Amino acid sequence: MEEHREERCWEDLLPDALGLIFRNLSLQEMLTVVPRVCKSWSRVVSGPYCWQEIDIQEWSQQQNKPDQLTRMVHTLVTRSGDSFRRISVSGLPNDSLFTFIANHARSLKTLELPRSEISDCIVEDVAQRLSNVTFLDVSSCTKIGARALEAFGKNCKSLVGLRRVMHPIDVAGKVCQHDEARAIACSMPKLRHLEIGYMLIATNAVVEIASRCRDLSFLDLRGCWGVDDKLLQDKYPGLKVLGPRVDDCYENSFLEECSDDSDDDSIYSWEEFMDDEDYFVAAGSDEDEEALWADGHALEGLEVRFYGGGFGEGAFAGIDWPESP
C-alpha cells in the first residue's frame, strides 16, 4: 500500500512563516524580487510580517534625495502596521518625518537615527510617544543638545543603551558638551551601554555619569581627550572603558564595495523602484504589483559611514580621524 503524501506549495505557507524567511533577504530583494514571484508573496511583503525590524541604514546613506527617503520610511512603517520594534535610518531630513515615526512607535524598542536633522523642540514634543525605547542612537545629530537628551531620558524610562558619537567636525567651534553629559547622568539612570565618542567633555562629567548610572558596564570614550581614563579605571574597576586614545586607520574597503564597476547585468533598476509612484501604496492592498524592479546601485550622493553596526571594542572608531592633541 502506497503511502499518501500531501504536497504543499510555497505560497500556501503561513504569512508569518514566509515573513521569517524573507527577513533573511536584503532590502532590495524584498522590494524588487519577492513581489514579482506571486500574489501571495507580494501580499506578505506588503504586510507587517517582514517589517518588524526596519533597517535601511546602509541604503539611506546612499541617498541625496530627501523625498525618496521620506517615501521609503512612510512605506515601510505603514506596512509594519505600527508593529515595528526597530528602525534604523540615517539622515532624517526634517522634524516631520521624525514625528511620523514617533506617531507609529507603540512597539518600538530600538531607535537609530544618526546624522538626522531633528531639533530639541520636536524631541520634547514627541518623546512621550517613545516610552518603550530601550536603545537610542542620535550620533552626529547636530541640531539637538541637552534638552533633547533630557527629554529622551525622562520619557524612555527603560533606556539601557545610548549612542551619542560625534565627528570632530560636528563639535568644531563648541567649547564643551558638559550640559549633555549632565542630562545623560540625571535622566538615564538605567544605562548599561554608553557611547559618547569625540564629545567635548572632561573627567568630572564622566565621573558624574558613572556615579549616577550604577548599572553602566561599557563606556566608549574614544576621542574624548579631556578624560583621564586611568582615574576612571581606578575608581570604577568593573566598568569597561574604551578610549579615549584611539588607533585609527583609513579604510578603502567600503568605497571598493560601492564601486561603479559592477558585474550586475540586471535590466531592472533600483532607481526605477524609487521613482515609481504607483508602487508606494498602502499596506494590505490587493492590487497586482507588476512593477519591474531588481538589484541596482544607487550611488549618487554616497556618504562615508563613520559609525554604525553593533557594539564591540574591535570596531574602528571612525575613518581618518585627526590625531590626539
At 109, is the secondary structure helix, strand, or coil? coil
Return the percent helix, strand and coil in the chain, to nearest 5: 35, 5, 55
CA distance 254 to 188: 34
50-242: which CATH number, 3.40.50.720, 3.80.10.10, 3.40.50.2000, 3.40.50.300?
A: 3.80.10.10
Torsion of CA 169, 171, 174, 178, to 10 degrees: -170
pLDDT digits over 93-112, tens only? 999 999 999 999 999 999 99
> Where do the structural domains in the chain lie, given as residue ranges?
9-49, 50-242
Cell numbers that stand for 93 in this block:
531630513
Cell numbers that stand for 159 in this block:
533606556
The H-or-E segment that residue 88 falls in is strand 86-88
Cα first-last separation, the chain: 84
Beta-strand runs (E) in 52-166: 53-55, 86-88, 110-112, 135-137, 161-163
Supply the pLDDT for residue 224.
93
- Whether the pLDDT of residue 310 is over 60: the answer is no
* pTM exceeding 0.85: no
Cell numbers that stand for 64 in this block:
541625496
Cell numbers that stand for 95 in this block:
522634524
Greater model confidence, 289 or 11: 11
pLDDT digits over 163-200, tens only? 999 998 988 888 889 999 999 999 999 999 999 999 99
